[in-house]
Amino acid sequence: MRKWIREHPTRAAVLVFLAVWLLMMGVNVAVHRRLDDALFNSTFYALFMAGGMYLQQKRMRKTGAKLAADGKLLLWIRYPDSRPGSLSSIWNMVVTTAGPGETVFQPAVYDTAEPSGRPVKLRVLELAAQRRETTGQDRKYITDRSVLAVMAATDKGRLEIAGTPENLDLLSAAIASAARSNESDAA
């Protein structure tokens, strides 16, 4: 289902719009509203929901394009080996720059992806091959449902990285090319 939604976002949005409209129409008719009131309320509520979805997707596309132009990625990180209750369950939004030898994770402000705080420089040794879907607990911090998570081994311990499949592929490619260049330098 998620794969189909990623491949057909417009159709999925139209289906959500229709489902919300039908649900609201049913609720309005069930509470004995007049038909014209039910039509107006259902249409207004569904348009409001569709507008919110559209603006969120537009913001994410705009932010992604801006970061891609600068060679950066929008990801989320967390430290699973931290003490329970500290940073083990909190996902931090970061703007990532994968360079030769090290990856810079710059904390970001949520709406604008502007830098906020001290960047963390880590040497990512490898990314696990298996990716997992984010769960409801993760969605307290990550609202995008197309995000996948992967474990990474770094020079300072384990790190969990989440991002869209495209961003994780780009990060993986950058890490692999850095590893190849390190091997050729050593030879």
12 pLDDT band (50/70/90 cuts)?
Answer: confident
Tens digit of each residue's pLDDT (9 = 90 or more) over 141-156 = 877 778 899 999 888 8
- pTM higher than 0.85: no
Q: Where are the domains of the chain?
A: 2-60, 70-186
- The third-level CATH classification (topology) of the domain covering 70-186 is PH-domain like (2.30.29)
3-class DSSP string for the chain: CHHHHHHCHHHHHHHHHHHHHHHHHHHHHHCCCCHHHHHHHHHHHHHHHHHHHHHHHHHHHHHHHHHHHCCCEEEEEECCCCCCCCCCCCCEEEEEEECCCCEEEEEECCCCCCECCCCEEECEEEECCCCEECCCCHHHCCCCCCCEEEEEEECCEEEEEEECHHHHHHHHHHHHHHHHHHHHHHC
